[in-house]
Amino acid sequence: MEGLGLGGSTEGEEYLFELASFLAVSARGCVDEPHLYGPLRLIDGLSRLVELSRRLPCISADPFLEKIRDQIEENKALIMYDKEKFIGFLDHLILEFAKEIKRRAKRPDSNPK
């Protein structure tokens, strides 16, 4: 995610501020935009949230979430030309999360790695 026009990509706390700003603006945008823009904004927000581990050293990267982020970046444009495939992609994401939740629930520790 490029910065707020502050020159290149941002790091740490500034990125967190950008994410919060994005979510606030997205919430307002959902009021007037076509209804499928809401899900698009949510998965874009998810992708940006996962990006925090790359910008804040106190957050460890989660391999599952990194994989999800890559899938989001590859598929979020589907909304522009194939509504049904976009919805199918959202269903796929939910299924992936459900599988991962079950996998993590079976582990003796809570470390995602």
pTM for the model = 0.79
In a domain, 29, yes or no: yes
Q: Cα–Cα distances in Å, from 83 out to 35, 37, 75, 89, 97?
A: 11, 11, 11, 10, 21
pLDDT 10s per residue in the chain (113 long)? 444 444 345 677 788 889 989 999 999 999 999 888 999 999 999 999 999 888 888 889 999 999 999 999 999 999 999 999 999 999 999 999 999 999 999 987 755 55
In a domain, 33, yes or no: yes
State both tokens at 67: 């994989």
In a domain, 35, yes or no: yes
In a domain, 26, yes or no: yes
In a domain, 52, yes or no: yes
What is the per-residue DSSP string for 25-63? HHHHHHHHS-TTHHHHHHHHHHHHHHHHHHH-TTS---H
Containing structural domain, residue 26: 12-106
Distance CA 88, CA 78 (A): 10
In a domain, 6, yes or no: no
In a domain, 2, yes or no: no
